[in-house]
Structure 1
Amino acid sequence: MRAVALGGGHGLHATLTALRRITTEVTAVVTVADDGGSSGRLRRELGLLPPGDLRQAFAAFAAEDGGTLWAQVFQHRFGGDGALAGHAVGNLLLAGLFEVLGDPVAALDEARRLIGVTGRVLPMSPEPLDIVAEVAGLDEEDETAIRRIRGQVAVASTPGRVQRISLLSSRGSGEPPRACQEAVDAVLGADVVFLGPGSWFTSVLPHLLVPELHDALVRTKATKVVILNLIPQPGETAGFSPERHLDVLFEHAPDLRVDAVIADRDSTPTPARLRRAAADLGGRAHLADIADPIVAGRHDPDALASCMREALGLTGGENSMEGQ
């Protein structure tokens, strides 16, 4: 089963960890709008794709393929207060490959061979992108006034209410962001595509705002599955119900239809509303106990994999799919 997972950060890590329990044919398509921390520093200083979310995907694959040392090394951050302080080893390795090879896809494929993982990691765009958000609630005198803020860190940490986002190309020409062609091909050739969980406005929705990638997600014959977050995120989705996440998804991509929506049972106070919202997008809601019982706010990979199988109608073994 050829699977594609779109997202970024810890949310994509959760999807990949669960998905690798079902199939080895997995491609991660990763957001490239990070402008904070180690990734932001490398992006500003070297003009490269921010490597942090790409690193997270490799770490997820390495851990599932038995390369626990590689996963640990890739995630290791240097301490101290010198020039390397705060940089993750994997970020520096990817940045070096980007500079030496001059092609982000070739660099990521070389990293894949170096680490020895079966999954492929691709950027959603070959160029760094900027997120611009329309935010309400930042003006004390007028709570309804809309302000525009720019940058992933600013959007993720805003005390206001994010209404809508858009993407800007780093070329600064007003042209729409370019898609990574290999990512587009992966979506069109997939049997199943997963979107989410993760930071809704900064890791999930950006994939729908790259025109070629959006069109591929609309046109693909793959089964499309949305995985919802366990808890609202302060700033980005504070006060959001599970069904509100789907409403925002539809507002940003009204032509997109999905086949299934996965949500945690305890995180869904009104299941009937979620089922109606999923039906409005063309899909069916699947509720299960998929939260980690020990670590709050994290998906349990085995439980999530089980719910994925149910949503996909998997029968007769790990790599078969009903109707295909």
Structure 2
Amino acid sequence: MAARRRRSTGGPQVVSFGGGHGLYAALRAFRLLTENLTAVVTVADDGGSSGRLREELGGLPPGDLRMALAALCDDGEWGRVWRDVIQSRFSSEGPLHDHSVGNLLISALWQLLGDHVEGLDWMARLLRAHGRVLPMSSLPLRIEGDVQFDPGCPPEVVQGQSALAATDGHLREVRLVPHNPPARAETIEAVCAAEVLNLGPGSWYTSVMPHLLVPDLAEAIFDSGALRTLTLNLPGSKAETRDLSLCDHLESLHSHAPRLRFDYVLVDEDAAAAEPELEAKARRLFGARMWTRPLRGRKHSQHDSLKLAACYRDVLLDAGITVDEQW
């Protein structure tokens, strides 16, 4: 399609969706392949420093946005120092305890400038970030889910990202509150201009799925002519998906967004070998080709960004998209 045929100076136009550590890994990988990188970040966090600032100031939770900005910092001295600064947390006996420095800086910019995207753009300039960070919506959203605690009982509604992330029940469905929130115009523009769209990895229900629950954003993704990739999680102990196989991950994503299609589903080779039916499921549900590579980092449940970058590079080259390698 037209978006796929474009060639951008500095590498392809890539938009990666997610939040937290999963998006951080994807961004650290993609920034080795392109200078034209946009992170679209969930805004439903209600725990920790982000939750406290959200409650006190009424704006978006800044934590996942800060993580994305940190991922885009340059590897030179300036970027390394500022990445450490914004990721550092206060330790005290008072109300500043455990607040992230970056969260406070972002919140201050939002109060000063009165606009979430403008504040994030100024933060990116300070960090000399290799790319742009955008919220999926300018509304501070809540997420709620249907959780089954007992197989013999109906599901119960659990509210809040932090509660869902820690649930010991089986999470079946999630929704955003308010329902049908508006997408940020800049976010839609980035999706429409993209040559590559990537979803995941990340907390499946609370970082990955929410992007598909914003109607305008979901429609832009469905209608895009860009190359679309899904980066599956590594098997791990995340509470919200601890009882789900990778096939179950695909089923749950399809149930929330049945119109969604991918060109490639990227998965760690050991994880794929453990689920031989995964390839057929990716093809049936999403029309996708499965692409397997070694992706694990030293922490067994986390992706290695260099391995992930090599995987993304190979997929893009296989699709005929030129990358701008910066190894």
TM-score of the pair, normalised by structure 1 = 0.92
- Quote how far apart the aligned CAs of 1:195 are: 0.3
CA RMSD of aligned residues (A): 1.6
Q: Distance in 2 between matches of 1:176 and 1:208?
A: 10
Matches within 5 A, 1:164-183: 164-169=173-178, 176-183=180-187
Q: Are residues 1:108 and 2:110 paired? A: no
Once residues 153 and 65 of structure 1 are traced to their aligned partners in structure 2, the CA distance between those partners, rounded to angstroms, is: 34
Counterpart among 294, 297, 300 of residue 289 in structure 1: 294
Unaligned runs of at least 5 residues, structure 1: 170-174
1:268 aligns with 2:279: no
Is 1:304 paired with 2:313?
Answer: no
Say whether the 8 Å CA contact 1:17–1:64 is kept in structure 2.
no
- Paired residue for 1:45? 56
1:54 is matched with which residue: 47, 62, 65?
65
Among 160, 168, 171, the alignment partner of 1:159 is 168
- Displacement after TM superposition at 1:234 (Å): 3.5
1:18 corresponds to: 29
1:1-324 aligned at under 5 Å gives the runs 1-64=12-75, 67-137=79-149, 139=150, 143-169=152-178, 176-280=180-284, 281-292=286-297, 294-313=298-317, 318-319=323-324
2-structure distance, mates of 1:95, 1:23: 29
Is the 1:161–1:236 contact (alpha carbons within 8 Å) kept by the matching residues of 2?
Answer: yes
Q: Amino acid of the residue matched to residue 158 of structure 2? A: I
- CA-CA distance at 1:97 after TM superposition: 0.6
Whole-Å separation in 2 of the counterparts to 1:135 and 1:232? 20
Indicate conservation of the 8 Å contact 1:65/1:118, yes or no.
no
With over 3 angstroms needed to count, the CA separation of the structure-2 counterparts of 1:268 and 1:59, relative to structure 1, is same
Query: Is contact 2:229–2:263 with CA below 8 Å preserved after alignment?
Result: yes
Judged with a 3 Å threshold, the aligned counterparts in structure 2 of structure 1 residues 48 and 161 are, in CA distance, closer, same or farther, namely: same
Between the two proteins, the alignment pairs up a number of residues equal to 311
- Shift in Å at residue 246 of structure 1? 1.0
The alignment partner of 1:206 has SS state of: helix
Deviations 1:234-276 (A, max 9, x none): 4211121112111111100001101101111112344531111
Indicate the structure whose relative CO is greater, using CA pairs within 8 Å and at least 6 residues apart.
2
Question: 1:65, 1:117 within 8 Å by CA — same for their partners in 2?
Answer: no
**Compared CA separation, residues 145 and 96, structure 1 to 2 (3 A):** same
Quick one: which amino acid aligns to residue 162 of structure 2?
Answer: V
Separation in 1, partners of 2:192, 2:280? 28
1:48-82 CA-to-partner distances (Å, cap 9, x unmatched) read 10000000001111154661001100100000121
Instruction: Give me the TM-score of the superposition, normalised by structure 2.
Output: 0.91
1:215 partner SS = helix
Shift of the 233–184 alpha-carbon distance from structure 1 to 2, 3 Å rule, reads farther
**Identical aligned residues as a percent:** 44
Q: In structure 2, do the counterparts of structure 1 residues 165 and 64 end up closer, same or farther at CA, with 3 Å as the change threshold?
A: farther
Q: In structure 1, give the amino acid aligned to 2:280.
A: R
Match of 1:172 in 2: none
The question of whether the paired residues in 1 share the 8 Å contact of 2:74 and 2:130 is answered with: no
User: 1:221 aligns to what SS in structure 2?
Assistant: coil
Shift of the 36–252 alpha-carbon distance from structure 1 to 2, 3 Å rule, reads: same
* Structure 1 stretch displaced more, 270-279 or 53-62: 270-279
4+ long deviations beyond 6 Å: none
1-side partners of 2:40 and 2:227: how far apart? Answer: 16
Q: 1:265 to 1:144 in 2, by over 3 A?
A: farther
- In 1, Cα distance between the equivalents of 2:203 and 2:143? 13
The separation in 2 between residues aligned to 1:187 and 1:279, in whole angstroms, is 24
